[in-house]
Amino acid sequence: MKIIKLALVVFTMAFVATSCKKDEGKLPSIQFNTSADFVSSDITLPEGDTAVIQIIADKTEDKDVLKKFDISLSENGGVNQSIYNVDLNSDQEDHFEYTYRAVAGAGSGHTRKYTFTISNRDGLVNQQSITITTQ
């Protein structure tokens, strides 16, 4: 009977060890759409002009779906402040796209740094930024 109990314990431990694979901890993917219709790098624009920016985000692990998206803004090197934040729904958890129209600030040399952040189920975050400088 002891041998059967010991075998059962060993089998259970082996099963638990193989079924609890460690998560790889990969960051979610986020990138700018680089087609001609969108701005995908830092740019200088006349005051009040608009840059159309599109982000494309994807999960990188099966179970670590996308959960949150945020856009933050820093003007002239100041504090980064969230200007748009959304919890993603089940239709957006594998792949998410968002188009944003960023406006150049007032006055020559004014900078606006837009940071686009995606986070997954494990709370891992990835970011991309674009700075718009006013002519």
Burial class (CB in 10 A: 0-12, 13-18, 19+), 127: middle
Q: Please give the Cα distance from 93 to 91 (Å, whole number).
A: 6
The whole-model pTM stands at: 0.82
- If you compute the radius of gyration of the chain from its CA atoms, what whole number of angstroms results? 22
Per-residue pLDDT for 6 more than 60?
Answer: no
SS3 (DSSP) at 58 = strand
pLDDT above 70: percentage of residues in the chain: 83
For the stretch 32-71, pLDDT in tens is: 999 999 999 999 999 999 999 999 999 999 999 999 999 9
For the stretch 82-134, pLDDT in tens is: 999 999 999 999 999 999 999 999 999 999 999 999 999 999 999 999 999 99
pLDDT at site 5: 57
Classify domain 25-134 at the CATH superfamily level: Immunoglobulins (2.60.40.10)
